Amino acid sequence: MQEIGPTTDRPALEDKAIHTADGTDLFLRKWLPWQGPEQEKPKAVILALHGFNDHSGGLSLPGRGLARRGFAVYAYDQRGFGHDPQAGIWAGSDQMIADLKTTTKLLHAQYPDRPLYLLGESMGAAVIMAAEMTPDPPLSDGIILESPAIWGWQVQSSFNRNVLDMAAHAVPWMTVVPTGLRLKASDNRRALVALARDPLVIKQTRVDSAYGLVDLMTRAYDAIPKLGSPRYLVLAGGNEVILNKKAFKTGLALLPELPLEQGRLARYPKAYHLMLRDWDAPKIYDDVAAWIEHPDQPLPSGADATP
């Protein structure tokens, strides 16, 4: 795991970085709503967390799409990914959660009169879910979980458990090519080509990082039946192939039955794992915007009414 330095600095929201208490700068991207020469006051602020082996640049499409709908979107490279000098080395679930809490506080200070929402893609969703179960969860008005990574130890096969446990403790430095690289993660070929050519996207995963990811997904899986405060929106694709389908369905079945305005599942039969990059993603952006602005109303696409 990464070695995290002592707490020496005051966290700060900088133009292109989140400066953390241990002195690490997490590369920051933002997409803001504009109206003519003046910056438009956002309807709400969205803090977005990227997925495993990806970085904040992978959220450019939804970032721009949601900014055009009036939201300020921020995304940073999580530790171990993107511009992090220690990219490829797992930072630990607790540290990733701590970074999320730090950034949440900084955005509240930057936008004291605006609601704040957390959006996570795959692993990013798992970080948010695990954070919500800590004694001092990040303060937000709602969480949006896209293709949440919930393939924890609870739903791993005994073969997977034994092989990963042995490899992580015997040859933790060994790298493997994730099978997901050969599976269809989106119907947007242009986005997939950009993903493959992006030098910041990790192509070979250390075994100990994969082990850490499963530990994080285990915490996210445990959080499923406890979701509801703050309100949540889960986005699931019918063409999910990156996560184990059986494990994914088993996990989603644990979602608590809550009133419409408190928690709901939106299922898009033709969507893939990276649905916010699909060709049909704009309708999902519309759904997210509608859910934020009108929590008691059905989604425009009707995805929350899909069996």
User: In sequence order, what are the residues at sequence separation of 6 or more whose Cβ sits closer than 8 angstroms to the Cβ of residue 302?
Assistant: none
CA distances from 249 to 103, 218, 220, 296 (A): 31, 15, 14, 25
pTM score, whole prediction? 0.94
Say what the pLDDT of residue 180 is.
Answer: 47
Q: Is 236 helix (H, G, I), strand (E, B) or coil?
A: strand
Return per-residue pLDDT of the chain as tens, 307 residues.
Answer: 898 989 999 999 999 999 999 999 999 999 999 765 556 689 999 999 999 999 999 999 999 999 999 999 999 999 999 999 999 999 999 999 999 999 999 999 999 999 999 999 999 999 999 999 999 999 999 999 999 999 998 987 776 766 766 766 766 556 666 554 568 999 999 999 999 999 999 998 999 999 999 999 999 999 999 999 999 999 999 999 999 999 999 999 999 999 989 999 999 999 999 999 999 999 999 999 999 999 999 999 999 997 6
CA distance 227 to 258: 10
What is the token pair recorded at 17? 């970085």
130-167 as b/e: b if 16+ CB within 10 A? bbbeeeebbebebbbbbbbbbbbeebbeeeeeeebeeb
Say what the pLDDT of residue 42 is.
Answer: 94
Domains and CATH numbers, the chain: 12-305 (3.40.50.1820)
Residue 9 per-residue DSSP state: S
